[in-house]
């Protein structure tokens, strides 16, 4: 009926407004966050499947806003991407990761790699390869300690022009990972031409292991594809022993997930690492 239609519309409009004002609120507080040290990097271990050695960590941003409380990255990264603030946040992430690598240099954690997440927009910065390389050089750190994670989507969205950038990044000694692999639309011919080091099997496929036939086929195919292109494979979102065992049997090179550790702050990670290596 007419009434129902109108009612529904109003409801819809209210939700739109709510969403918009939340969006604007986050955008406003993001500006404050950068200048007031409200971001922090958390770290999730990446573990070699055969040796069980921790070989690196993925850095994941956390925002504890003075006014909004904890805001998860899934909520603010896309807003920062739309507003352009992701460039400044991305720079902060690069610097924070470098600081962490430096802090670990004279410790047992000196050889750990840090993987940082880079948004599509950051790839459009003409100087990204130089920026990463300069940050490492200034800190006198070997480049292989920093790894760049890019989603399959952002890699493929500008494939032709990304080839040159990726060659530059690799030429400077950093490694490149494809995040969320299997959820975008990869062109296999590009995948072959890109100088990539790692494919990360998306959590949505790991979720169904080892019971779901489709997820089993997809995971196995991704592992085989990666290996035939001389790349390593990381499975993300590993939550159970059964998933881990499946992945080990199928020669997935590395794993990451709550089964081993949630992302935790640097201090917690150092304690976790010490314990992991004691036994
Ligand atoms: P992502 O890069 O795919 O990161 C993996 C997400 O899965 C992380 O969520 C991580 O905490 C979560 N995760 C890891 N293991 C498990 C598991 O076993 N079970 C479950 N349920 N979840 C697991 P988080 O930290 O909330 O980050 C969400 C997304 O936000 C990231 O997805 C990434 O796209 C983005 N993001 C996070 N930090 C950054 C950053 O510094 N820069 C950029 N550009 N994006 C970031
Ligand atoms: Ca990632
Ligand atoms: Ca991912
Ligand atoms: Ca994701």
The ipTM of this complex is: 0.98
CA of 6 to the centre of ligand 4 (A): 37
pLDDT, one tens digit per residue, over 259-272 is: 999 999 999 999 99
pLDDT, one tens digit per residue, over 58-87 is: 999 999 999 999 999 999 999 999 999 999
Cα 112 → chain centroid = 16
Instruction: Give the E-state strand segments of the chain in sequence order.
Output: 39-48, 54-65, 69-71, 113-117, 146-151, 175-181, 198-201, 232-235, 254-255
CA of 47 to the centre of ligand 4 (A): 19
Helix boundaries (H) for 172-252: 188-193, 203-206, 213-228, 241-249
- Please tell me the predicted confidence (pLDDT) of residue 158: 85
Mutation pick for ligand 1 pocket among 117, 119, 154, 179 (CB with most ligand atoms within 8 Å) = 117
Residue 36 scores a pLDDT above 90? yes
Enter the tokens of residue 256: 């990451």
Residue 5 banded pLDDT, cuts 50, 70, 90: very low
Task: State how beta strands 113-117 and 146-151 pair.
Answer: parallel
CA separation for the pair 145, 16 (Å, rounded): 44
CA of 138 to the centre of ligand 4 (A): 31
Closest ligand (CA of 147): 2
Question: Which of 194, 236, 240 is closest to 219 using CA atoms?
Answer: 236
CA separation for the pair 41, 57 (Å, rounded): 11
3-state secondary structure of 35: helix
């Amino acid at each position: 009926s007419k009434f129902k239609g109108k009612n529904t519309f109003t409801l819809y409009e209210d939700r739109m407004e709510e969403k918009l004002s939340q969006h604007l609120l986050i955008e406003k507080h993001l500006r404050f966050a950068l200048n007031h040290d409200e971001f922090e990097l958390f770290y999730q271990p990446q573990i070699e499947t055969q040796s069980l050695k921790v070989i690196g960590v993925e850095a994941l941003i956390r925002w504890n806003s003075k006014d909004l409380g904890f805001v998860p990255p899934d909520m603010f990264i896309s807003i920062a991407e739309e507003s352009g603030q992701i460039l400044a946040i991305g720079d902060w992430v690069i610097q924070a990761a470098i600081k962490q690598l430096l802090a670990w240099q004279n410790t047992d954690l000196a050889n750990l790699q840090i993987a940082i997440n880079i948004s599509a927009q950051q790839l459009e910065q003409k100087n990204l390869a130089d920026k990463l390389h300069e940050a490492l050089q200034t800190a006198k750190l070997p480049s292989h300690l920093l790894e760049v994670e890019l989603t399959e989507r952002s890699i493929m969205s500008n494939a032709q022009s990304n080839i040159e950038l990726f060659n530059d990044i690799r030429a400077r000694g950093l490694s490149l990972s494809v995040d969320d692999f299997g959820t975008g639309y990869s062109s296999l011919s590009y995948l072959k031409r890109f100088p990539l080091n790692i494919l990360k099997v998306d959590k949505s496929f790991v979720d169904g292991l080892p019971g779901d036939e489709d997820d089993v086929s997809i995971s196995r195919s991704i592992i085989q594809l990666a290996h035939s292109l001389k790349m390593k494979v990381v499975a993300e979102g590993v939550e159970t022993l059964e998933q881990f065992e499946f992945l080990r049997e199928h020669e997935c090179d590395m794993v990451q997930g709550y089964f081993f550790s949630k992302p935790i702050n640097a201090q917690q990670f150092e304690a976790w690492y010490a314990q992991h290596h004691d036994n």
